[in-house]
Structure 1
Amino acid sequence: MSETPVKQNTAAFYGQAVASFAVAMAATAIGIYRLDADSWVRAFLGIAVLYLVTSAFTLAKVIRDRQDATARVYSPFEKL
């Protein structure tokens, strides 16, 4: 039996993902702040963006967990 090693992301990839997320959130926040609208409209858009971000994180976690659960099924007869 051969096991395939798990591929890990590099630190550069992780840093790029974090930086991309930070730039996107900052650009959205600046855009909402500078929007020519009432403050309640800007507040609503801000809350909507936060809800969308948290929903995206939750969806990504659920997909990752499902993929991890089906990635390797151990037989009760094989040595761990």
Structure 2
Amino acid sequence: MKPKPIQPAMTAAYFAQCVISFGLALTSVAVGIAYLPVNPWVRAFLAVGVMYTVTSAFGLAKCVRDRQEFDSMSNRVDQARLEKLLSEHDPYKVDGV
């Protein structure tokens, strides 16, 4: 019997909390920039900086996720090789007989 790989359970509530948290953070920064008492060029610079930070965060999250999936897949391949070797191994077999 093969053990099932452990996968973290992501519930709908957790997903909703993450989406709402992201939306609130982005909205609060946008409102803060909109009401900042500076000229429009400074506001535009801050807005572009926030958008660049957000897109970079999404890119970084994707890279981390891809790396974890690759490591998980490599571990599964190694585990399958080990299981095959163990299933083929006979401790009572004598070589040369």
Q: TM-score range by the shorter chain?
A: 0.7 to 0.9
Partner of 1:20 in structure 2? 21
Partner of 2:92 in structure 1? none
- Alignment gaps of 5+ in structure 1: none
Pairing of 1:39-58 with structure 2 (within 5 A): 39-58=40-59
Identity, in percent, stands at 41
**Matching of residue 68 in structure 1 with residue 78 in structure 2:** no
TM-score (norm 1): 0.87
Task: Provide, for residues 42-75 of structure 1, a one-character-per-residue CA deviation record: whole Å limited to 9, x for no partner.
Answer: 0000000000000011001101100110113215
- Alignment gaps of 5+ in structure 2: 85-97
Give the Å deviation of 1:2.
Answer: 1.6
Larger Rg: 2
For 1:34, the aligned partner's letter is Y
SS in 2 for 1:72: helix
Identify the structure with the greater helix proportion. Answer: 2
Give the Å deviation of 1:7.
Answer: 2.4
Partner of 1:2 in structure 2? 3
Aligned residues: 78
Runs of 4+ in 1 over 3 A off after TM superposition: 75-78
Greater RCO (Cα-Cα under 8 Å, separation 6 or more): 1
**Higher mean displacement: 47-56 or 5-14:** 5-14
Q: Aligned Cα RMSD in Å?
A: 1.6
